[in-house]
Amino acid sequence: MINKDFISIVIIVKNDRGVENTLNKLRSITRPVACEILVIDASNGRIDDIRDKFPEVRWIYYPTLNIKKTTIPEQRNLGVKESKGNIVVFIDADCVPVKNWLNELYKLYRKDHESIVAGIVIPTKSTVWNNLYDLSDKSVYRNECPTANLLISKKVFEKIGYFDENLLYGEDVDLTWRAVSAGFKIRLTNKAIVHNDWGSFWDEVDRSYRYGKARAMLYKKHTYRWRNIISQEKVILMYAGYLLLLPVTIIIPFYPLFILIPFIKNIRKQPLRMIFKLLLINLVNAIGLIKGILFNY
């Protein structure tokens, strides 16, 4: 039997010169079947010099009309619609895959008949997060995943639709929540690895704020998930509760000191500097969640 699978690797980019490293590595990865690479570029010509280095890549411009602050879901949707493959693989513009990355994603699609397969993203330098997933959780299937490293069958889009263009952030989680609700499963493999430079610590702080707002908007859209919010978001809820109760300092002057509890619990497990960083990121994440709940973007 002839294998007619065809993979479309989709990368969205806006002014991120890290896409050159990604494309360089994609030239040398092992390819299990025929592939194409699509770059959906919203940079308004600013990285055309990189485009010129990769004539084999299908480069599609996304016109930015300054209507929205971000066009991430629109770019992803354009990539899916323009793709020729029956399989779409997303990788972020600043991610560098290992040589067997695509093989490992495709293997589970082909042999285990998985419609959605997620790989892991490992930071290239020290960060408060070791990965986008909790790898201490040995579950084979997950309830959600980002699109930084993701294989998804076209039949998923045919059944549930595309990325929600009303969302500024969190459109990937929204898509995977809808996929799970429709009966699809998200298979996680720690063998499909990409490395990613997550930027400076302050980049992480900014990202954490945006993610907090995104989580709020996701729960507003998927109201049936509120019953699970305590189990799924217990850390961010703890910090959000701490912030909301700060006015009790008027009555209990030592209340702000409660934030030191994580220090006491982790002082022997992590360097003090890393604990401070994690504390700040969790607080900013909680501020984003509170703002997202009280207001829209």
Residue 1: the pLDDT is 44
Residue 121: the pLDDT is 92
pLDDT-derived band at 297 (thresholds 50, 70, 90) equals: low
Query: What residue type is 242 in one-letter code?
Result: Y
8-10-14 Cα angle (round to 5) = 160
Residue 107: the pLDDT is 96
Domain regions of the chain by residue span: 6-196, 201-294
- Residues contacting 169, CB < 8 A, separation 6+: 70, 72, 210, 211, 213, 214, 217
Mean pLDDT over 127-144 rounds to 69
> Would you state the CATH architecture of domain 6-196?
Alpha-Beta Complex (3.90)
Task: Tell me how far CA of residue 90 lies from CA of 45, 117, 119, 126, in angstroms.
Answer: 22, 11, 10, 24
What SS3 class is residue 89?
strand
pTM for the full model? 0.90
pLDDT one-digit tens code per residue, 184-240:
999 999 999 999 888 788 888 898 999 999 998 998 898 887 777 777 788 888 889
pLDDT-derived band at 33 (thresholds 50, 70, 90) equals: very high
User: Can you say how many angstroms the Cα of residue 188 is from the centroid of all Cα atoms in its chain?
Assistant: 14
DSSP symbols for 119-187: EEEEESS--S-S-SS-TT---SEES---SSEEEEEHHHHHHH-S--TT-SS-HHHHHHHHHHHTT--EE
Q: Is the pLDDT of residue 131 over 70?
A: no
Closest CA to 117 of 77, 167, 80, 156: 156
Closest CA to 232 of 289, 182, 161: 289
Q: What is the mean pLDDT of the chain?
A: 88
In 48-86, which ranges are E strands? 58-61
User: Can you say how many angstroms the Cα of residue 138 is from the centroid of all Cα atoms in its chain?
Assistant: 20
CB 115 within 8 A of CB 178: no
- Quote the CA–CA distance of 124 and 98 in Å, as a whole number: 13
Mean pLDDT over 89-95 rounds to 95
Closest CA to 94 of 190, 24, 43: 24
In 4-115, which ranges are E strands? 6-13, 34-41, 58-61, 87-91, 95-97
